[in-house]
Amino acid sequence: MGAMSIWHWLIVLVIVLLVFGTKRLTGLGSDLGNAIKGFRAAMKDAEAEDQAGEPQKLEQADAQRTAAAASATPAQPGTEASKPDSKPDSKPGPKA
């Protein structure tokens, strides 16, 4: 007795049709369907945007790690970067 049988549901359906009418229910159904379609399209767009954005984020993270590693690496003794007054564009020769 706790669960409603098919006859109960049919009586409820008939009462709903009498109260709201078929035009109103048809409009409500089409509005609900359009809302669901719009929601699904928005979800697909969001997923596509997330998937398209991932490679760019990974490339940016790699570039940041590379830059951080390059700036954190100390200069090796004997290299041009370790000499404070060396000028790579200057030519050796007599100084005037």
CA pair distance 48, 18, nearest whole angstrom: 45
Q: Is the pTM of this model over 0.75?
A: no
Residue carrying the six token digits 């951080």: 68
Asked if residue 1 is part of any domain, the answer here is no
Select the more confidently predicted residue: 67 or 74.
67
Which pLDDT score, from 0 to 100, does residue 74 have?
A: 57
Tell me how many domains the chain contains: 1
Asked if residue 53 is part of any domain, the answer here is yes
Q: What is the pLDDT of residues 8-53, one digit of tens each?
A: 999 999 999 999 888 888 999 999 999 999 999 999 998 888 777 6
Determine the Cα angle at 19 with ends 15 and 22, to 5°: 95
Asked if residue 39 is part of any domain, the answer here is yes
CA pair distance 59, 19, nearest whole angstrom: 60
Q: Which helix or strand (DSSP H or E) is residue 44 part of?
A: helix 22-72
Using the predicted structure, report yes or no on whether residue 68 has a pLDDT greater than 80.
no
Asked if residue 81 is part of any domain, the answer here is no
Q: Nearest 5°: phi and psi at 78? A: 90, -5
